[in-house]
Amino acid sequence: MTLAILNGRIITPSGVIEGGVLCRDGRIEAVGAFDVPADAERIDARGKYVAPGIVDVGVFAIDMPAFVAGGITRALLMPDQSPPLDTVALIQRAAAAGKPQVWIHPLAAATRGLHGTDLAEVGLMARGGATGIATGRDWIADSAVMHRLLSYAGALGLVTVSHAEDGGLARGAVATEAESATRMGLPAAPAEAEALAVQRDLLLAEISGAPLHFRQVTTARALDLIRAAKAKGLPVTCGITPAHFLLSDVAMGDFRTFARLSPPLREEADRLACIAALADGTIDLICSGHDPRGPEAKRLPFSDAEPGMAGAETLLALSLALVRNGAITIERLFQLLATSPAQRFGLPAGAIEPGAEADLLIVDPHAPWRIDSEKLVASAGNTPFDGLPVEGKVMTTIKGGTILG
């Protein structure tokens, strides 16, 4: 199949250029100006961006309709499945689940059953197709286990994805210890639970020399630690979801369980620190944290509700707010959404250039719409942004030169 996308504003590694993208046999053949083959299917992208497909790090469910609607062409799947992804067979099954459409890249469970005690067969799972290793929803409390994990994964060239929250300090908490949690009477943990976990893991990464990625970092103190670690040259990166740079803990008002997240929403000062960290490069990528939860998990008292949000469909629209507000450029946004995650985990994606795989989006940055939890195509619509008017929408998602939607 030959596909010619014409008259667009193309987001390339060197900046935004005017022109088109020619795709043939699943790869990008030309960018900018080119002669359109007679047999090519044409798409007029006038007034729209042509961007690299989003690489979403750390989704909790394989949700194809939501991925296609949100422009996600590759998704790194967390090991928190039923059963956990702690064997080669489970890794291989997960990796095959999305092909040939959205490709699923499984993250192997760091420990057997994700119990945090005995290391899983990391080497076998790596040879079986695991893209990285993850501790899952929880922090590994035993420092000796975490040290062995980092040393082993680092020797294999794998990135370890860690949950940044001290499990002892945060046990039983559903909110950040601050005015909102006090007023609502919710069990809470201090925001420093995140910094404690980050500091421990950074020290172990320094000892082992292993690459480390914190799936989400959401507090000023933890971001300062990561900023300092990067200045020392440690191979550390971190991510964040739109919920944590757009919402503060006041969004939990009226006990809205859609705002019950892990990590929990933070105070306003931390939210602003996250935006600054996105601008200065401390935060390396934006992820959806896609974790669809049905009514049985959310229509409960706040303390009993399961944490998580459906984020795949809304990821780009919400992240575009950073561009409109002048915090970052559109080029920086797609570095955070596509280029950096692909580079961090060694995936052949994230850039529009000749020879690259034709994973592309056509984005109307001005298309207005309203987020409606009842109308999302995700398997569940548990979004804290329910009812929010947004601007910007994925019009077409292309994987390997094939139009998905």
**313 pLDDT higher than 90:** yes
pLDDT in tens, 67-95: 999 999 999 999 999 999 999 999 999 99
Which pLDDT score, from 0 to 100, does residue 240 have? 98
Distance CA 384, CA 275 (A): 19
Share of the chain above pLDDT 70, in %: 100
Which CATH code, of 3.20.20.140, 3.40.50.10680, 3.30.470.20, 3.20.110.10, is assigned to 52-350+366-390?
3.20.20.140
Share of the chain above pLDDT 90, in %: 98
The full length of the chain comes to 405
Question: What rounded mean pLDDT belongs to the chain?
Answer: 97
Q: Which amino acid is at 281?
A: G
pLDDT in tens, 112-170: 999 999 999 999 999 999 999 999 999 999 999 999 999 999 999 999 999 999 999 99
Domain boundary assignment for the chain: 52-350+366-390
**If you average pLDDT over residues 323-352, what whole number do you get?**
97
Which pLDDT score, from 0 to 100, does residue 311 have? 97
User: Environment class of residue 299 by beta-carbon count within 10 Å: exposed (0-12), middle (13-18) or buried (19+)?
Assistant: exposed
Distance CA 300, CA 164 (A): 26
Which pLDDT score, from 0 to 100, does residue 13 have? 82
**If you average pLDDT over residues 366-393, what whole number do you get?**
96
pTM for the model stands at: 0.96
> Binning pLDDT at 50, 70 and 90, where does residue 404 land?
very high
**405 pLDDT higher than 90:** no
Helix (H) or strand (E) holding 105: strand 103-109
